[in-house]
Structure 1
Amino acid sequence: MIRVVLVDDHSIMRQGLRAVLEREDNLRVVGEASTAVAAVAVVAAARPTVVLLDLKLSTGPQADGLELCRELTSAHPGLGVLVLTTFVEDRLVVEAVQAGALGYVVKDVDTTELVRAIRAVARGESAFDPRSASAMARALSGAGTGPERERLTERELEVLRLLARGLSNREIGRELFISETTVKFHVGNLMRKLLVGRRAEAVYAASKLGLL
């Protein structure tokens, strides 16, 4: 069972999300919060798998959710934070990942894509809608290449692009007509080459290098 906490300052948005998510067999909304203070308490009490987080909470600045994301992921290792917001600024997407978010989607995403993103984050994988992935790539593609890294193969780049869409190893295998074991091999190689330890970090690093 994937346990979800909703953090959004609009009650009607939370109600709509709850109605959508609880139609899914293995998703359960175990808490809601409209402020950062309430979110900290609810997450500590409910121990969710995933927090669905809006970046704009009513009493703070435009991106006060970023600090909350940082606080939650620091206090609860293994917690998956998926940003669900109306803002698609390049800087915010990058800063959300830096703050510990595993995914970033905008609020007009369709239900199927949202559920897929939640499931990916629950598995510890990254999930970005196409606009968010593009925003991160735009923001970081000119940031320099950093230390010399081993080049990714064409297949590894294909796997990386599907990782950025939040697909699981099994889904990537189906897309590329290769086995799940082979996908794991490519993911391991590309993470080693990018000098990272997590899938979301691989997407971030690849965007910084202009690979996405």
Structure 2
Amino acid sequence: MNESGALVRPENARGGTVEQALSADPVRIVIVDDHAIVRQGLWSVLERERDLSVVGEASTSDEALAIVERTNPSVVLLDLKLSSGNDCEGLALCERLVGQFDDVGVLVLTTFLDDKLVIEAIHRGAHGYVIKDVDTTELVRAIRAVSKKESAFDSRSAATVVHSINNQLTAPELTDRELRVLGLLARGSSNRGIGAELYISETTVKFHVRNIMRKLGASSRAEAVYEASKNNLI
């Protein structure tokens, strides 16, 4: 426990975590949730994965900012509700995290499934959005994707995005192939997954993703999904 009250993962006697002994570059995770039992449960589940390392937890915005600055995580698992008086305090925190820490990817993990919240979270800089009853395999997949700066959504959140994209398949600024790539981006597919789905190479996928981001004026894959929403693609 540090001075701010946020909990920091203890290191072993050799100066590193167990996972660091198993992997040269584990995905470092901070859990932000106002319920201690949820944080403890997530910590227990994620620590079973040899390539994941939970390095801290926090229950408030101030604690989260302090612990992220101290531990330098790759991914922040962020609940939207961090106090009884505000159901969406996590949105403001998400924006502060991505604004202050360039290397941090934010994955929203919440009980709320709402079209506007999904889009707003992306607008605030989140790389992904999953619902808390998602299974462990899907959550771990999403964390790994966000650690690589890829977008990640569970099936229900992805349906919100994909439904909107499919409403305007004739957008003049994107080719048919780019629209298909965009749809797969919205589902959280990796470059390899998109290539396998469309029978094209990862190099070609990267080319299409760059074109999509350029045409939509986006600097990241998740922002491209958000910009597509502003252009009535989502």
- For the criterion TM > 0.5, the same-fold answer is yes
Contact 1:141 1:208 in 2 (8 A): no
Which residue is 2:179 aligned to?
157
Q: Could you tell me how far 1:197 is from its partner in structure 2?
A: 2.0
**Counterpart Cα distance in 1 of 2:113 and 2:121:** 11
Of residues 125-134 and 39-48 in structure 1, the stretch that sits farther from structure 2 once superposed is 125-134
Aligned residue identity for 1:125: E
Which residue is 1:180 aligned to?
202
In the alignment, is residue 197 of structure 1 matched against residue 219 of structure 2?
yes
2:95 partner SS? helix
**Counterpart Cα distance in 2 of 1:209 and 1:109:** 30
In the alignment, is residue 17 of structure 1 matched against residue 39 of structure 2?
no
Of residues 131-140 and 121-130 in structure 1, the stretch that sits farther from structure 2 once superposed is 131-140
**Equivalent residue runs for 1:63-142 within 5 Å:** 63-136=88-161
**Counterpart Cα distance in 1 of 2:186 and 2:161:** 10
Contact 1:159 1:187 in 2 (8 A): yes
- Assess, with a 3 A threshold, how the Cα gap between structure 1 residues 46 and 34 changes in structure 2: closer, same or farther: same
2:232 partner SS? coil
2:82 partner SS? coil
Which residue is 2:65 aligned to?
40
Q: Provide TM-score, normalisation by structure 2.
A: 0.81
Contact 2:161 2:186 in 1 (8 A): no
Contact 1:54 1:65 in 2 (8 A): yes
2:125 partner SS? coil
Which residue is 1:146 aligned to?
none
Q: Could you tell me how far 1:150 is from its partner in structure 2?
A: 4.7
Instruction: Compare relative contact order (CA 8 Å, sep 6+) and give the higher one, 1 or 2.
Output: 1
- Structure having the higher Rg: 2
Which residue is 2:4 aligned to?
none
**Counterpart Cα distance in 2 of 1:16 and 1:62:** 21
Q: Could you tell me how far 1:140 is from its partner in structure 2?
A: 9.7
**Counterpart Cα distance in 2 of 1:28 and 1:10:** 20
- Assess, with a 3 A threshold, how the Cα gap between structure 1 residues 88 and 204 changes in structure 2: closer, same or farther: same
In the alignment, is residue 168 of structure 1 matched against residue 185 of structure 2?
no
CA RMSD in angstroms, aligned pairs only:
2.2
- Assess, with a 3 A threshold, how the Cα gap between structure 1 residues 83 and 106 changes in structure 2: closer, same or farther: same
Overall identity of the aligned pairs, in %: 62
- Runs of 4+ in structure 1 displaced over 3 angstroms? 133-142
Of residues 102-111 and 126-135 in structure 1, the stretch that sits farther from structure 2 once superposed is 126-135
1:45 partner SS? helix
Q: Could you tell me how far 1:67 is from its partner in structure 2?
A: 1.2
Q: Give the aligned length.
A: 206
Identify unmatched segments of 5+ residues in structure 2: 1-25
